[in-house]
Copies of this chain bind each other. A is one copy, B any other.
Amino acid sequence: MSIVVVGSVAYDTVETPREKRERQLGGSASFFSIATLGRSTVRCVGVVGDDFLQDDLDLLAAHGADVSGIKRVAGKSFHWSGRYHDDMIERDTLATELGVFADFQPEIPADWKTSEYLFLANIHPSLQSHVLDEMHEPRLVALDTMNLWIETTPDELKAILARVDVLLVNDSEARLLTGKRSLAHAAAAIREMGPQRVIVKKGEHGALYFGADSVLAVPAIILDDVIDPTGAGDCFAGGFMGSLAKAGADRTSGDEVFRQAMLDGTVTASFCPEGFNVEGLLKIDEAAYEARMATLKSMMVP
């Protein structure tokens, strides 16, 4: 089984009340890829500039990502800069320098088009549609988006939503997309738009899964310390999709395999805020993962 992920491969400058780190490996495709934890081959489609360090591509490759779909072109890599507030949740974006990402035209290598799984990370919905056009009937397509596209390109977003199986959004985006305050109504409205499985991410409050026949509420694992939450949503997606790919799920699978994927996404994402950028993810080993899965389940059993 293999997953194609299309998204950003970037540098992030992150400032927290305690520390500032400049130009570290970031971007949705980077977090996603590492977060699949080797459960599936991950094929990254993205673009970087000539300032991008080979070491960073090597790091992704060392964690199982095929980076041959990341094109290197003349110019600067996508650079995001932000500052977290004391609560380590609210943040101000200080700079978004798109660089070569501004003209990103995703190209799927020919032998990747038959990949079984596709994750369309948060990019312009027309590009998401273009990528899906290129693929040969993946068995499951998941999509992330954001308020920018909901507000500025609603028609393009609705066009791609009609063609995907799973939507991952946060609670405010679900409400913005549907105009519904109740998340039950918002999820129902999203299912009308296309995706039959809706995941509402709520950060430190966990995530909700609205599936074919059931709703699941997964709490976030309670962390001792939050160093840098950047990328946690993409880590959730990577853990989630890796779990589905390993299980061989498709769009007709029952809710059970998706519920397990919610747990895997949650456990994987819980490591992310424990280090700057991808450092938290890199600390995952099997024992730590299993211990945290046991903790999560013990928090949930009614």
Q: What is the interface of chain A, defined by CB distance below 8 A to chain B?
A: 86-88, 181-185, 202, 205-206, 208, 214-219, 222-226, 259, 263, 296-302
Contact = CB atoms under 8 A, between A and B. Distances in A.
Contacts of A184: 222-224
A223 B300 contact: no
A183 B214 contact: no
Given A214-B299, A216-B301, 11 more contacts: A87-B181, A181-B226, A182-B222, A182-B225, A184-B223, A205-B205, A206-B217, A208-B222, A214-B298, A300-B300, A300-B301
A165 B61 CA distance: 53
Contacts of A226: 181-182
A298 to B, nearest CB: 6
A175 to B, nearest CB: 9
A296 B217 CA distance: 9
Contacts of A301: 216, 300-302
Contact of A297 (B185, B225, B302): B302
Contacts of A259: 302
Contacts of A206: 205, 217, 219
A219 B217 CA distance: 6
Contacts of A87: 181
4 tightest Cβ-Cβ pairs between the two chains A and B: A217-B219, A205-B205, A184-B222, A217-B299
A214 B299 CA distance: 8
Contacts of A223: 182, 184
A222 B298 contact: no
Contacts of A205: 202, 205-206
A222, A263, A297, A301, most chain B CB atoms within 10 A: A222
B208 A215 contact: no
A214 B219 CA distance: 14
24 contacts: A86-B181, A88-B181, A181-B226, A182-B222, A182-B224, A182-B225, A183-B222, A184-B224, A202-B205, A206-B217, A206-B219, A208-B219, A214-B298, A214-B299, A215-B222, A215-B299, A216-B299, A217-B219, A219-B219, A259-B302, A297-B302, A300-B300, A300-B302, A301-B301
A184 B92 CA distance: 26
A210 to B, nearest CB: 9
A298 B202 contact: no
